[in-house]
Structure 1
């Protein structure tokens, strides 16, 4: 599936897109989390095919500009009930965990994130998820207000240095 817009295209990433996605995500992680030195050393990034491409209920979508450069991403995986703050809150087999939603800082507030989310929600419904959960941090540029504007509700507030907010949305 590929959705074309005036200045960019959204599609589910495939193995050939992995390097372009990483070239976008890793510098952005260092930009938004400058005080976490190992922020880009995560299992899902070093195993992108296994994390987002092999199973039918996982995906990463990316927005590509006209030159083929990734300008936004969003990912989904089954939620595994690993987060203590919301442990037991979700119907685990039917809940997806949203992550890796990033937009090029020069292109924010142009509707890319909303369109990526809409594509992701359609995908989630098509594979049988009935809810999406996520966690964000209030200091991230635009993240927390964006999720509220997309009808995500606050499930729990973290009492931690990163000011984590746990949110979810019924599909």
Structure 2
């Protein structure tokens, strides 16, 4: 039996989720400005709740503590060197699992739920990017069926761009 449960985020837990994501962001990217919320988090409701493709998951342990997050947004085509085939493309964002709950299948379960949602929404391609310094991230996404489509430096970070056709 899993020691966690996964559910979609609604307004009732949105503020807690945003604070959790910001804590994870500070841990993973200490070099970034953390005084201002990124656009998607500042407009969480409009981005993840009100949009047809917007979707955000939270994972909680048996004591209802937040232990993981994962989001999906419509891809905004901001990387001109990427070319996706026709159809709806969505971007997988903000995967973070509390270190004490890693290697238990939680992230894979969250990705499975996100993929089910994406298929239901008639999304054809999932896009994401990751960075080599995020230990284990690249290998995890490969195991989840993603493939590398480009490797480039972006905003001072070596960046691996990946996709998964649905």
Q: CA distance change for structure 1 residues 92 and 108 in 2, over 3 Å: closer, same or farther?
A: farther
Deviation at 1:63, TM superposition (A): 0.6
- Using the TM superposition, give the Cα deviation of residue 82 of structure 1 relative to its aligned residue in structure 2, in angstroms: 1.1
2:162 aligns with 167
Gapped runs of 5+ residues in structure 2? none
Q: Which residue of 2 aligns with 1:129?
A: 123
Structural mapping, 1:2-81, within 5 Å? 6-38=2-34, 41-81=37-77
Offset of residue 69 of structure 1: 1.8
- 1:111: how far off? 0.8
Give the structure 2 partner of residue 96 of structure 1.
Answer: 90
**Which runs of 5 or more residues in structure 1 are unaligned?**
none
User: Aligned pairs, how many?
Assistant: 165
Residue 10 of structure 1 aligns to a residue whose secondary structure is strand
Q: Deviations over 1:76-101 (max 9, x none)?
A: 11112112331xx1146511111011
Query: SS of 1:76's equivalent?
Result: strand
When residues 92 and 60 of structure 1 are mapped into structure 2, their CA distance, relative to the original with a 3 A threshold, is: farther
> Counterpart of 2:137?
143
CA distance in 2: counterparts of 1:93 and 1:42, whole angstroms: 27
Cα deviations across residues 107-146 of structure 1 (Å, max 9, x unaligned)?
Answer: 1111111000000000000011011000111101321111
RMSD between aligned alpha carbons?
A: 1.6
Classify the secondary structure of the residue corresponding to 1:158: strand
TM-score (norm 1): 0.90
Find the aligned partners of 2:44 and 2:17 in 1 and give their Cα distance.
10
1:133–1:167 Cα contact (<8 Å) kept:
yes
